[in-house]
A and B are shown apart, each in its own frame.
Chain A
Amino acid sequence: MSVLVRIPTPLQKLAGDKAELNVEATTLQQVIDQLASQNDEFKARLLDDSGQLRRFVNVYVNEEDVRFLQKLDTPLKDGDEVSIVPAIAGGR
Chain B
Amino acid sequence: MLCSEVLSKRGFWRQRGRNGKYFYGGACQPPLGRKEHALTSSAILETSATASNGHHAVKHSSRLLGLKCKECGAKYEIAPKHVCELCFGPLEVAYDYEAIAAQTSREKIARGPYSMWRYQDFLPVEGTPQVNLEAGFTPLLKCDNLAKRLGIRDLYIKNDTANPTWSFKDRVVSTALSRAKEFGFTTAACASTGNLANSVAAHAARAGMDCYVFIPADLEAGKVMNSLVYNPHVVAVEGNYDQVNRLCAEVADRVNRNAEGIHENHWAFVNVNLRPFYSEGSKTLAYEVAEQLGWKAPDHVVIPIASGSMLTKIYKGFNEWMDLGLIDRKVVKISGAQADGCSPVAQAFREKQEFVAPVRPNTIAKSLAIGNPADGIYAKDIAEKTGGSIDSVSDEEIIEGIKLLAECEGVFTETAGGVTIANLKKMAESGRIKPDEVTVAYITGIGLKTQEALTGHVGEPMLIRPNLASFEAAWGRKI
Residues in B neighbouring A56, C-beta threshold 8 A:
71, 83, 87-90, 374
Nearest CB of chain B from residue A32's CB, rounded to whole Å: 14
| Given contact pairs A19-B253, A68-B358, A87 touches B87 in the complex (Cβ within 8 A) | no
Nearest CB of chain B from residue A47's CB, rounded to whole Å: 8
Are A65 and B261 within 8 A (Cβ)?
Answer: no
Query: Beta-carbon contacts of B15-45 to A below 8 Å, as 1s and 0s?
Result: 0000001011100000000011101100000
| A49 vs B84: C-alpha distance when bound (angstroms) | 17
Are A88 and B245 within 8 A (Cβ)?
Answer: yes
Residues in A neighbouring B245, C-beta threshold 8 A:
88, 90
| A49 vs B375: C-alpha distance when bound (angstroms) | 21
Which of the four size classes fits the interface of chain B?
35 or more
| Given contact pairs A45-B86, A45-B88, A86-B83, A92 touches B305 in the complex (Cβ within 8 A) | yes
Residues in A neighbouring B357, C-beta threshold 8 A:
67
Partner of B250, one of A41, A68, A83, A87: A83
Are A91 and B71 within 8 A (Cβ)?
Answer: no
Query: Beta-carbon contacts of B254-293 to A below 8 Å, as 1s and 0s?
Result: 1001000101000000011001000100000000000000
Are A19 and B254 within 8 A (Cβ)?
Answer: yes
Interface size on A (CB < 8 Å)?
34
A85 within 8 A of partner (CB)? yes
Are A90 and B193 within 8 A (Cβ)?
Answer: yes
| A84 vs B358: C-alpha distance when bound (angstroms) | 16
B190 within 8 A of partner (CB)? yes
Residues in A neighbouring B373, C-beta threshold 8 A:
89, 91
B77 within 8 A of partner (CB)? no
| A13 vs B22: C-alpha distance when bound (angstroms) | 10
A58 within 8 A of partner (CB)? yes
Residue on B nearest A53 in the bound complex, by CB: B88
Question: Which A residues from 41 to 75 make CB contacts under 8 A with B?
Answer: 41, 44-46, 48-49, 54-58, 60, 63, 65, 67-68
Instruction: Pick the 9 closest A-B CB pairs, nearest first.
Output: A91-B306, A89-B307, A89-B374, A86-B83, A56-B88, A92-B306, A87-B374, A90-B271, A10-B85
Interface residues of chain A, those whose CB is within 8 Å of chain B, are: 6, 8-10, 12-13, 17, 19, 40-41, 44-46, 48-49, 54-58, 60, 63, 65, 67-68, 83, 85-92
* Sample (25) of A-B pairs whose CB atoms are under 8 Å apart: A8-B250, A9-B253, A9-B263, A10-B85, A10-B88, A13-B23, A13-B24, A44-B37, A49-B35, A54-B88, A56-B89, A56-B374, A67-B358, A68-B358, A86-B82, A86-B83, A87-B90, A88-B191, A88-B275, A90-B196, A90-B271, A90-B306, A90-B370, A91-B241, A91-B369
